[in-house]
Amino acid sequence: MEATRILIVEDEGVVALDIKNRLESFGYVVSDIVPSGEEAIEKTSAQIPDLVLMDIKLCGDMDGIAAAEEIQKRVNIPIVYLTAYSEEKTLQRARITEPYGYILKPYNERELLISIEIALYKHKADAEKQKLVSELEEALAKVKTLSGMLPICASCKKIRDDKGYWNELESYISEHSEALFSHAICPECGKKLYPEHYDDVWGKEDK
């Protein structure tokens, strides 16, 4: 099984190196380290890591939250924020991006590991859930059901569709459901159509 690949987005070199060393000690692979939101977007699209560890305050014109928003538009990758900023305004902006975790600096090694593991587990569960929902929607789209009052001729038993056309009963049901037909002759019709064979074929069913 391939090791989990993590992209670190951190503009403080010492902090970034410390995070890299800790992640590698956990068995993760650091796909890259970038200091800006613009580079984070570029590297994420090119490398498709399993998780992005994103600092909120970054060098350049784009902060981590804006970068996360753009990344989410392009790829489905879990993002965990790592930041020293805890004011409500920042947290509110961060929550809108629906991150998979939020770690405040100074962090400890155990907190970092737990946050990443939870984020990876939750993302996998969400992906499996979405797959099941898509499969269910596809299955439901294939299911056709008959409901409501159907106009049917009292004589020939044809059914009138919503466009006003009269259809053979079996044609209408086949088109609007998953039912399949096999053909046979009931005893009543057998007696009427083939009286000479009635006793041999259908008469036994009456006994």
Residue 47: its pLDDT value, please?
Answer: 94
Residues 6+ apart with CB under 8 A from 184: none
Q: Please, what's the largest Cα pairwise distance for the chain?
A: 100
Full pLDDT tens readout for the chain, 207 residues:
688 999 999 999 999 999 999 999 999 999 999 999 999 999 999 999 999 999 999 988 899 999 999 999 999 999 999 888 667 788 888 888 899 998 888 888 899 999 999 999 999 999 999 998 888 887 766 555 566 677 888 777 788 877 888 888 778 777 777 777 777 778 888 778 778 877 776 766 555
pTM over the 0.75 mark? no
Cis peptide before 106 (omega within 30 of 0): yes
Cβ count within 10 A of residue 178: 10
- Dihedral-angle region of residue 48 (phi above 0 means left; psi in -120 to 50 means alpha; beta otherwise): left
Q: Note the CATH architecture for domain 5-140.
A: 3-Layer(aba) Sandwich (3.40)
User: Measured at the alpha carbon of residue 75, what is the angle toward residues 73 and 80, in degrees to the nearest 5?
Assistant: 90
Residue 196: its pLDDT value, please?
Answer: 81
Residue 87: its pLDDT value, please?
Answer: 72
CATH 3.40.50.2300 domain extents, the chain:
5-140
